[in-house]
């Protein structure tokens, strides 16, 4: 039986510093994004990522960006070698999950408010009211928390300011007797 199972497996070994692509399963995708997609619409591989360390015979630790909040160790079956295409625009392109904006055209000045959208734990997310540089407060827009990864310092400053406020200052954040929670 082992002979037949091994006939469909590929023997891969990577060295420290090699570039690999990471297979995005629906379970990994749920941890990466706050939005649900049909599994046929999910990118199959993301990367390239650099191999930092080999752990045992079949596991590798990858250098993942901070925006991907997943464990950096993967079995070799989730990895595929990355071959850089010379002269291709795809080779220079850096992918981000479709939900996360690669970059904003504007610069965020400050975060004014937040709201929690969604009724169940599966589709609950936090949106922030962002005032953009050079625009007035009424022109502020609601942006998803996951898309503001470029402005993590502003989000953290807003959360810190929110926790230091007294209960009398929370008048705008109380909704039907329940305070909004940041996730």
Question: Would the pTM of this model clear 0.85, i.e. be above it?
Answer: no
Q: What is the CATH number of domain 2-83?
A: 2.30.30
Under the banding of pLDDT at 50, 70 and 90, the label for residue 175 is: very low
CATH 2.40.50.40 is right for the domain spanning 108-179: yes
The proportion of the chain whose per-residue pLDDT surpasses 70, expressed as a percent, equals 69
Partners of residue 63 on adjacent β-strands: 50
pLDDT digit string (tens) for 41-87? 667 788 789 999 999 988 999 998 877 778 889 998 889 999 887 65
Picking from 32, 31, 41, the residue whose alpha carbon sits closest to that of residue 97 is 32
Is the torsion defined by CA of 24, 25, 27, 33 positive or negative?
positive
Distance CA 75, CA 48 (A): 16
Assess whether pLDDT exceeds 50 at residue 173. no
Under the banding of pLDDT at 50, 70 and 90, the label for residue 99 is: low
What is the location of CATH 2.40.50.40 in the chain? 108-179
Assess whether pLDDT exceeds 90 at residue 117. no
Report residue 135: phi and psi, to 5°: -120, 155
What is the location of CATH 2.30.30 in the chain? 2-83
What is the residue whose two structure tokens read 């392109």?
93
**Secondary structure of residue 110 in the 3-state scheme:** strand
Q: How many helices and strands (H and E) does the chain possess?
A: 4, 10
pLDDT at 182: 59
Strands 125-132 and 141-144: antiparallel
């Amino acid at each position: 039986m082992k002979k037949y199972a091994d006939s469909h497996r590929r023997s891969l070994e990577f060295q420290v510093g090699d570039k690999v692509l990471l297979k995005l399963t629906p379970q990994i995708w749920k941890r990466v994004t706050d939005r649900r997609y049909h599994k046929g619409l999910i990118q199959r591989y993301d990367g390239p990522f650099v191999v930092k360390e080999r752990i045992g015979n079949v596991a590798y630790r990858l250098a993942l960006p901070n925006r991907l909040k997943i464990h950096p160790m993967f079995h070799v079956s989730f990895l595929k070698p990355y071959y850089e295409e010379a002269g291709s625009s795809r080779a220079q392109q850096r992918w981000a999950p479709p939900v996360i904006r690669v970059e904003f055209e504007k610069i965020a000045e400050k975060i004014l408010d937040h709201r929690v959208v969604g009724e169940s734990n599966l589709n609950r997310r936090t949106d922030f009211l962002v005032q953009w540089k050079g625009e007035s407060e009424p022109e502020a827009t609601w942006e998803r928390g996951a898309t503001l990864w470029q402005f993590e310092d502003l989000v953290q400053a807003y959360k810190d300011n929110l926790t230091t406020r007294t209960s009398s200052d929370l008048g705008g954040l109380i909704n039907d007797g329940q305070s909004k929670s940041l996730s």
